[in-house]
Amino acid sequence: MAKTAAAMVQAGEREVRVSSPDRVIYEATDRTPEVTKLMVAQFFVAVEDGLLRALRDRPTALERWPDGYREGFRLSTGYGDDGEGFYQKRVPKGAPDYLEPVGITFPSGRTAEEICVTEIAVPVWCAQMGTLTFHPWPVRRSDVDRPDELRIDLDPQPGTGFGDAVRVAGVADELLRELGLVGFPKTSGNRGVHVYVRIEPRWSFEDVRHAAIAFGRELARRDDQVTTAWWKEERGERIFVDFNQNNRDRTIASAYSLRPKPGAPVSTPMTWAELATVTDPRDFNLFTVTERVADGDPWSGIDDTSYSLQPLLDLWQQQVDAGEGELNFPPDYPKMAGEPPRVQPSKKVAEHWDEQGNRVEGT
């Protein structure tokens, strides 16, 4: 069979070449048709306004699935295991001239040049490279050490689900408003909910992480279905506020990213009123979101106001004064001041853990 000719996708003022345009990236489901590589590239053009709002001028890691996604496929953890998907944290060879890199520093002190999205042609070229999900840092290239976003990741634990995350998100919205902050919610594209708050780029990653811990603890006081426990065994059937997603080199799938799940689900921005009515995040996929953006982006005003982090830092200090101190960092971080022991309570030997506190098999 003859190889399908490459297609050209109009991305702003540029044409981007997409090879193997008919490669199946997502198989058909009972809810959605199959999705090809060309359709992924065209989707990123269709959601240009919202996608660039999420990515513009941010260092961005790519989650690449060159052969597409199938049920059972795995994302490589980077600890020597094999997976069909992997993270690309450095600008790959062969990048086009219009792709502008930005220098970042990892927790280890190592540095790298990472992709910086400045125009829609960049995400479309990333689609050509098999990218489904964009993982932007919470900083702009003008100051890569001062975050301009607080990210609240509401992660359902076993025994809970999307509906529980939505309910807790409503409580989170109330708390944010009491603190004088405005959050913007989105589906994670899986079972969780993400809430973003634009902040003034005045504070360090450590400060923003402390703000997230303080918020999570206060949320847990108000709702007994919320936890900030780092170890899985301690979380129970609750919604975990993953405060460590605010660390340096920890990222969340961007708004309008596709997720590696059946049916091409999309991490979809919502209004608070709309989120409260959503029962199944799979309803928001490549096909439905393409239609949805014709009515505009619910996050169109996210950049209008940047808020002070001080109310949450004051709350953090109150918690510290009351004897509630530091919480665990991810295991690949250097030992941090005041951090609790990194040995899981039920374990007596050192093991490898991923950023969610899960043991990496085979280590």
Please give the tally of structural domains in the chain. Answer: 2
What is residue 345's predicted lDDT score, i.e. its pLDDT?
58
What DSSP string describes 187-235?
A: E-SSS-EEEEEEB-TTS-HHHHHHHHHHHHHHHHHH-TTEE--SSGGGT
Contacts of 142-147 with C-beta under 8 Å, sequence gap 24+, read: 142/57, 143/201, 144/59, 144/102, 144/103, 144/104, 144/105, 145/105, 145/204, 145/205, 146/201, 146/202, 146/203, 146/204, 147/199, 147/201, 147/203, 147/205, 147/208, 147/246
Collapse the DSSP code of 336 into the 3-class scheme (helix H, G, I; strand E, B; otherwise coil) and give the result. Answer: coil
How many CB atoms sit inside 10 A of residue 240's CB?
26
pTM: 0.92
What DSSP string describes 123-150?
A: HHHHHHTTEEEEEE-SSBTTBTTS-SEE
What is the tens place of the pLDDT at every residue in 326-356?
A: 999 988 888 877 888 877 655 533 344 344 4
Residue 274 lies inside a defined structural domain of this protein: no
Residue that is last in its domain, among 107, 137, 167: 137
Residue 362 lies inside a defined structural domain of this protein: no
Residue 62 lies inside a defined structural domain of this protein: yes
- Give the separation between CA 50 and CA 184, rounded to whole angstroms: 13
Whether 172 and 317 share a structural domain: yes
- Give the separation between CA 30 and CA 27, rounded to whole angstroms: 10
Residue that is last in its domain, among 137, 163, 186: 137
Does residue 84 come out as left (phi exceeding 0), alpha (psi in the -120 to 50 range) or beta?
A: alpha
How many CB atoms sit inside 10 A of residue 203's CB?
22
What is residue 143's predicted lDDT score, i.e. its pLDDT?
97
Contact by Cβ (8 Å): 230, 241: no
Whether 166 and 116 share a structural domain: no
For residue 120, give the CATH number of its domain: 3.90.920.10
- Give the separation between CA 33 and CA 26, rounded to whole angstroms: 8
The residue range of the domain holding 198 is 149-250+305-321
Residue 315 lies inside a defined structural domain of this protein: yes
What is residue 330's predicted lDDT score, i.e. its pLDDT?
87
What is residue 344's predicted lDDT score, i.e. its pLDDT?
64
Whether 211 and 166 share a structural domain: yes
Cα dihedral 78, 80, 85, 90, rounded to 10, equals 40
* Eight-state DSSP code of residue 239: E
What is residue 360's predicted lDDT score, i.e. its pLDDT?
40
What is residue 291's predicted lDDT score, i.e. its pLDDT?
97
Whether 131 and 181 share a structural domain: no
Residue 341 lies inside a defined structural domain of this protein: no
Whether 34 and 164 share a structural domain: no
Whether 43 and 102 share a structural domain: yes
What is residue 318's predicted lDDT score, i.e. its pLDDT?
98
Whether 64 and 168 share a structural domain: no
Q: Give the end-to-end CA distance of the chain in Å, rounded to a whole number.
A: 43
Provide the sign of the torsion angle of the four alpha carbons 84, 86, 88, 93, taken in this order.
Answer: negative
Residues of the chain with pLDDT under 50: 348-363
Q: What are the backbone angles phi and psi of residue 135, rounded to the nearest 5°?
A: -120, 80
What is the tens place of the pLDDT at every residue in 149-200?
A: 999 999 999 999 999 999 999 999 999 999 999 999 999 999 999 999 999 9
What is residue 337's predicted lDDT score, i.e. its pLDDT?
79
Beta bridge partners of 184: 196
By DSSP bridging, strand 239-241 and strand 149-156 are antiparallel
